[in-house]
Amino acid sequence: MFKHSKVLQYPAKPDKPDPVFAKKMQEILGGQYGEISVAMQYLFQGWNTRGNEAYKDLLMDTAAEEIGHVEMIATMIARLLEDAPVYEQEKAAEDPVIGSVMGGMNPHHAIVSGLGAMPESSTGVPWNAGYIVASGNLLADMRANVNAESQGRLQVARLYEMTDDKGVKDMLGFLLARDTMHQNQWIAAIRDLEEKEGVVVPGTLPKECEKDEFAHTLYNFSEGEESAGLDWLKEDAPDGAPFEYENGPVAYGEKPELKPAPKQSHNTPPADERL
């Protein structure tokens, strides 16, 4: 069960309108690695957790915070759109800068949401749940989480470089710090889980299931041997066995030929039957 406080976790006030930046900021709201993604990912991971209540609680702590981040960014976008000349054709005709704003902003902000945030990316693509994962395996999911926070913080950092609005930068600075915390916590969780289950996910699969002889070799499928020079390749792999390098990858399979399809499929008959 969730409750809402009206106050924001952190202020979300730009110094001045900027509809073009509002469009760009949509990326960290409704893009692949925006705040909707992390909120939904942590919610589903938390709800699906079985028998690991401390991690479930950690996931719900972080999920609830992230819904609050969606709220902060939605508020910031709504304010970046205030007092901007988005409907004023006459002004645009006279002033190329206004014309450029009307061309460069997200048309949805003017036509669909009435100067509000949209649940979509910076290119106007609606958010979809194909961006997220909740697998039931905590180590796998913590890796998904540290990736999401890394991509997310990278995008926030780039947006930070793309504006000189002090109010916007202030809020982005807060989000950068929270992403630092979230990267830290998921990395610490990974280290904890790897210690208990091993580094390879899933750690519970009996050894005899996999073809062990193929489990530590880098095959050189791309002509040139630059990758062979990576220092770590000369050491043991993280799971303890030594890495190997094979220059000319061998094919263990054969050339596959499929059987003809049944006549009811109306596939093209085999060439020799057509003669």
Closest separation in Å from C-beta 266 to a second copy = 4
Residues within window 16-35 making contact with a second copy, judged by CB under 8 A: 20, 23-24, 27, 30-33
Q: What is the 3-state secondary structure (H, E, C) of 243-268?
A: CEEECCCCCCCCCCCCCCCCHHHCCC
Query: Which of 22, 35, 80, 122 is in the footprint of a second copy by CB under 8 A?
Result: 122
212 is in an annotated binding site: no
Q: What are the CA-CA distances from residue 245 to residues 76, 208, 212, 226 (Å)?
A: 51, 23, 15, 12
Closest separation in Å from C-beta 37 to a second copy = 10
Query: Which of 15, 16, 150, 167 is in the footprint of a second copy by CB under 8 A?
Result: 150
Closest separation in Å from C-beta 228 to a second copy = 8
Q: Single out the residue of 139, 146, 142 nearest to residue 204, CA to CA.
A: 139
Count CA within 13 A, CB hemisphere, residue 197. Answer: 17
Integer-rounded Cα Rg, in Å, for the chain is 26
35 is in an annotated binding site: yes
Query: Which of 12, 22, 38, 80 is in the footprint of a second copy by CB under 8 A?
Result: 12
CA distance 81 to 18: 6
Closest separation in Å from C-beta 49 to a second copy = 7
Reduce the DSSP state of residue 141 to 3 states and report it. helix
272 is in an annotated binding site: no
| Contact string (CB under 8 A) for a second copy, positions 72-111, x = contact | x-xx--xx--xx--xxxxx--x--xx-xxxxxx-xxx-xx
CB neighbour class for 242 (10 Å; exposed up to 12, middle 13-18, buried from 19): exposed
Closest separation in Å from C-beta 47 to a second copy = 4
30 within 8 A of 120, measured Cβ to Cβ: yes
Residues within window 160-219 making contact with a second copy, judged by CB under 8 A: 160-164, 169, 173-174, 176-178, 180-181, 183-185, 187-189, 191-193, 196-197, 199-202, 204-205, 209-219
224 is in an annotated binding site: yes
Query: Which of 15, 16, 167, 233 is in the footprint of a second copy by CB under 8 A?
Result: 233
CA distance 185 to 53: 16
CB neighbour class for 96 (10 Å; exposed up to 12, middle 13-18, buried from 19): exposed
Q: What contacts 246, CB < 8 A, 6 or more positions away?
A: 217, 218, 219, 220
247 makes contact with a second copy (CB under 8 A): no
37 is in an annotated binding site: no
Closest separation in Å from C-beta 38 to a second copy = 13
As annotated, the binding site includes 35, 57, 61, 66, 69, 149, 182, 220, 222, 224
As annotated, the binding site for Mn(2+) includes 35, 66, 69, 149, 182
